[in-house]
A and B are shown apart, each in its own frame.
Chain A
């Protein structure tokens, strides 16, 4: 039996406390009055240009893409439509309208426009701690859900190499339930006690003036969103609960009934999971941009969560092995995990690029605003994550010998995890804080908070059962696994 070391527990609590303090600071410091925001903007303007206000606001309208609809403006829909026209230079009629509109605003109505712009920025600033919390919560939740799916695959495929690692996976999936509930709670709270800081479609005033969201309101409404969320979480939890129960029962059984039961529910779970994971990705991530849609989005999220999940499995395995708690796990198990990290990194890139390239190539205005925003305001994280999630693991994990060296795999894993945090960051932030993003106190503290919670829950769960499944029918094969 594994007992959580006092040191690790302390680390987890320190992370949680530091994180919680930072999150509170983030929430307090994000409430700025309109005057403060105006001062900030004036300082920014003075900093980088002399009098080109018109050009600046125009650029902002284009850059803003569809996230104009994100604040409580009454012209959400109009703005978003006009933006896309600007980019595409399509529909001349409409484009002219917008041009004259912008001219009028910046020319005669300058004060009014300044107010609106400041209000917009004020709202973005208020969104930041919410988004930071949400990104970090989703990131850690996604790790454990990815592990749960990987775990189910191991059973459904009757993999012979992995049974020695099943308890490690069970430990990590212990975070799935609290993690998922936290994500859903933040999402719901942002619409109930917050000012619709994450999902604009939760704001009745925006919906009232936005025909596009009205058309989607049968799916995107708070009640149905909550019910769906609980159905997803319930289903995932049931699988996790029973597979864990059977796995422990199998230790003392004298037949393989428990294994067969897990095999069956794993196959069923994988079907349920693929549907619910897709819908979860529309609900919890894609709907922050309610004007945008992409068909392979669910797969894209899946690939990201699988990489992160497998990376964390290998990290926890190597940590426990370094404490001599998993004596039967050998180089070949690490090698296999590293191969999965490598493969799923490339799979993630494939989906990322497919989504990007199809939209870039056809350049349809209503789709392309998504990437225009990211390219203009998030260039470094957007392109940096491709390097971290693709180029780095591709070159580092290609060599077969390197995949057996623990510190090498850990190093690759750290970069992969950081890269996928930025991936989630890139999915949420442009829609909520726009160009007001920064990786500062709110973001890092949220990471620390949920990181600490993750460590605490995972390693506590690992103490609840022997680290080695005893009577798993394939455990012998796993012990002798050699690649």
Chain B
């Protein structure tokens, strides 16, 4: 359940942010989101985010690419029209396989790379003309923003966040 009210705590240093995340987690508050201008090493671990599975999808896409290459060339070069081209043995796929390996390799990489990127775009909801979901433009430059859900504990949270070194704490009404 998403809270209707959230607190935006703004930091100016990634080390301070990391310490704050650990403190907030220790106090068992739910961190909705963190906006940073650049990747902060170890932030996902501190937040307790589940590891990504995108490498697994990439492996599977690569298998698809390899299959496409094999099936395609087996049909075209061996089954459909097994022509003698410069003495290459087109009697079976395996006999002429070395000639197909460059294409098998490239298609594997092509499928693995492109489908993984598309998966990434879809899963992270990124596309052209997408409305930016940026709560504060400064987070793209030099500020870090932590968004925490509020459940009638604003004062407690505000105090905690002040202690962690937040330079700015705002209570935001989230319109639904």
Give the residues in chain A near B98, CB-CB below 8 Å. 353, 356-357, 360-361
Give the residues in chain A near B101, CB-CB below 8 Å. 353, 357
Q: Return the CB mask of B22-66 against A: 1 if under 8 Å, else 0.
A: 000000000000000000000000000000000100010000000
Q: Which of A360, A398, A400 has the most CB of B within 10 A?
A: A360
Out of B55, B59, B99, which one reaches A361, CB within 8 Å? Answer: B99
Give the residues in chain B near A398, CB-CB below 8 Å. 59
CA of A400 to CA of B98, assembled, Å: 30
CA of A353 to CA of B55, assembled, Å: 26
CA of A353 to CA of B105, assembled, Å: 12
Scan residues 242-300 of chain A and give those whose CB is less than 8 A from a CB of chain B: none
Scan residues 43-99 of chain B and give those whose CB is less than 8 A from a CB of chain A: 55, 59, 87, 98-99
Give the residues in chain A near B55, CB-CB below 8 Å. 400
Q: Residue A363 at the B interface, CB < 8 A?
A: yes
Q: How far is the CB of A309 from chain B (nearest CB, A)?
A: 26
Give the residues in chain A near B99, CB-CB below 8 Å. 357, 361
Closest chain B residue to A398, Cβ basis:
B59
Closest chain B residue to A356, Cβ basis:
B98
Q: Which of B55, B59, B98, B99 has the most CB of A within 10 A?
A: B98
CA of A239 to CA of B161, assembled, Å: 58
Closest chain A residue to B88, Cβ basis:
A361
CA of A398 to CA of B101, assembled, Å: 20
Scan residues 398-427 of chain A and give those whose CB is less than 8 A from a CB of chain B: 398, 400
CA of A356 to CA of B87, assembled, Å: 17
CA of A400 to CA of B58, assembled, Å: 14
CA of A361 to CA of B102, assembled, Å: 12
Q: How far is the CB of A391 from chain B (nearest CB, A)?
A: 12
CA of A102 to CA of B87, assembled, Å: 26
Q: Return the CB mask of A351-364 against B: 1 if under 8 Å, else 0.
A: 00100110011010
CA of A196 to CA of B9, assembled, Å: 81
Give the residues in chain B near A400, CB-CB below 8 Å. 55
Out of A353, A357, A363, which one reaches B87, CB within 8 Å? Answer: A363
CA of A40 to CA of B129, assembled, Å: 81
Q: How far is the CB of A406 from chain B (nearest CB, A)?
A: 21
Q: How far is the CB of B41 from chain A (nearest CB, A)?
A: 10
Scan residues 99-122 of chain B and give those whose CB is less than 8 A from a CB of chain A: 99, 101
Give the residues in chain B near A363, CB-CB below 8 Å. 87
CA of A363 to CA of B87, assembled, Å: 10
Scan residues 319-369 of chain A and give those whose CB is less than 8 A from a CB of chain B: 353, 356-357, 360-361, 363
Q: How far is the CB of B97 from chain A (nearest CB, A)?
A: 10
CA of A400 to CA of B56, assembled, Å: 11
CA of A360 to CA of B55, assembled, Å: 35
Give the residues in chain B near A361, CB-CB below 8 Å. 98-99
CA of A9 to CA of B87, assembled, Å: 58
Q: Return the CB mask of A385-398 against B: 1 if under 8 Å, else 0.
A: 00000000000001
Give the residues in chain A near B87, CB-CB below 8 Å. 363
CA of A177 to CA of B87, assembled, Å: 49
Scan residues 113-144 of chain B and give those whose CB is less than 8 A from a CB of chain A: none
Q: How far is the CB of A308 from chain B (nearest CB, A)?
A: 24
CA of A361 to CA of B98, assembled, Å: 8
Q: How far is the CB of B163 from chain A (nearest CB, A)?
A: 28
Q: How far is the CB of B4 from chain A (nearest CB, A)?
A: 40
Q: How far is the CB of A22 from chain B (nearest CB, A)?
A: 38
Q: How far is the CB of A322 from chain B (nearest CB, A)?
A: 28
Give the residues in chain B near A353, CB-CB below 8 Å. 98, 101
Q: How far is the CB of B55 from chain A (nearest CB, A)?
A: 8
CA of A357 to CA of B103, assembled, Å: 13
Closest chain B residue to A360, Cβ basis:
B98
Q: How far is the CB of A85 from chain B (nearest CB, A)?
A: 16
CA of A400 to CA of B54, assembled, Å: 13
CA of A363 to CA of B101, assembled, Å: 17
Give the residues in chain A near B59, CB-CB below 8 Å. 398
CA of A325 to CA of B23, assembled, Å: 37
Closest chain B residue to A359, Cβ basis:
B98
Could you list 12 A-B pairs, sorted by A, with CB under 8 Å? A353-B98, A353-B101, A356-B98, A357-B98, A357-B99, A357-B101, A360-B98, A361-B98, A361-B99, A363-B87, A398-B59, A400-B55
Q: Which residues of A contact B (CB under 8 A)?
A: 353, 356-357, 360-361, 363, 398, 400
Known A357-B98, A360-B98, A400-B55; 9 more pairs at CB < 8 Å: A353-B98, A353-B101, A356-B98, A357-B99, A357-B101, A361-B98, A361-B99, A363-B87, A398-B59
Top 3 nearest A-B pairs (CB, nearest first) are A357-B98, A360-B98, A361-B99
